[in-house]
């Protein structure tokens, strides 16, 4: 579809018009929309996925979803870029949820070396053991925030839970980890 990063930035009214034209099946409008929105949406994908190839896959999935669901966009309820960002973030979160448990990523992080703040080579093994003792919800919260870089708001959306509850889960998880790890 061309080089998306060569397109000049779009104004919100232009994006809304392009999204509305896309909803009526206008392929040329969609190509233009892609060129203007893809660089911004790719940044969202990179932030969540942290791996270029996976982020590119998620962007493509999001753009297909934007094409097929453009008719759901309502300019009276919000702006086009915000709507497309939510669609993209949901694609990324679905990919994260469908991935194997983050323990493999966690193992890679923990095996990459000793904890630099403690200088203790056994810290990674201790952390792995303590994470294994957390209940599934707490472990998921901690790994999605600390390994995948989700914000509390993104985590709440992913977990389909109130923001306050998610914050409490993370804080409890961190307290339990600290207690398990000892002084």
Q: What are the domain boundaries of the chain? A: 4-98, 103-181
87 backbone dihedrals φ, ψ, rounded to 5°: -60, -45
Secondary structure class of 124 (helix, strand, coil) = helix
CB burial string 107-146: b at 16+ within 10 A, e below: eebbeeeeeeeeeeeebbebbeebbeebeeebbbbbbbbe
Angle at 159 between CA 60 and CA 85, to 5 degrees: 35
First vs last Cα of the chain: how many Å apart? 56
Q: Which of 133, 168, 128, 166 is nearest to 150 (CA)?
A: 166
* Residue 9 pLDDT grade (very low, low, confident, very high; cuts 50, 70, 90): low
pLDDT for position 106: 52
Domain covering 4-98 in this structure, CATH number: 1.10.1740.10
Query: Average pLDDT, stretch 57-80?
Result: 94
Mean of all residue pLDDT scores within the chain: 81
- Residue 4: pLDDT above 70? no
Contact between 84 and 65 under an 8 Å Cβ cutoff? The reply is: no
Contact between 73 and 20 under an 8 Å Cβ cutoff? The reply is: yes
* Residue 103 pLDDT grade (very low, low, confident, very high; cuts 50, 70, 90): very low
pLDDT for position 117: 46
Domain covering 103-181 in this structure, CATH number: 1.10.10.10
pLDDT in tens, 143-176: 888 777 788 888 888 888 898 888 889 888 888 8
- Residue 29: pLDDT above 70? yes
- Residue 57: pLDDT above 90? yes
Query: Average pLDDT, stretch 23-44?
Result: 95
* Residue 3 pLDDT grade (very low, low, confident, very high; cuts 50, 70, 90): very low
Contact between 35 and 7 under an 8 Å Cβ cutoff? The reply is: yes
- Residue 132: pLDDT above 90? no
* Residue 42 pLDDT grade (very low, low, confident, very high; cuts 50, 70, 90): very high
């Amino acid at each position: 579809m061309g080089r998306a990063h060569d397109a000049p930035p779009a104004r919100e009214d232009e994006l809304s018009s392009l999204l509305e034209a896309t909803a009526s099946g206008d392929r040329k409008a969609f190509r233009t929309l892609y060129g203007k929105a893809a660089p911004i949406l790719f940044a969202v994908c990179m932030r969540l996925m942290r791996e270029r190839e996976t982020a590119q896959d998620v962007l493509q999935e999001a753009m297909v979803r934007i094409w097929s669901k453009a008719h759901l966009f309502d300019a009276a309820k919000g702006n086009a870029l915000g709507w497309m960002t939510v669609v993209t973030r949901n694609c990324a979160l679905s990919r994260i949820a469908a991935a194997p448990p983050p323990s493999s990523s966690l193992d890679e992080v923990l095996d990459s070396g000793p904890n630099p703040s403690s200088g203790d080579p056994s810290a990674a093994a201790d952390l792995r053991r303590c994470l294994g003792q957390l209940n599934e919800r707490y472990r998921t919260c901690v790994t999605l925030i600390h390994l995948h870089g989700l914000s509390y708001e993104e985590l709440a959306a992913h977990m389909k839970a109130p923001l306050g509850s998610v914050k409490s889960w993370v804080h409890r998880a961190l307290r339990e980890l600290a207690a398990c790890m000892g002084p």
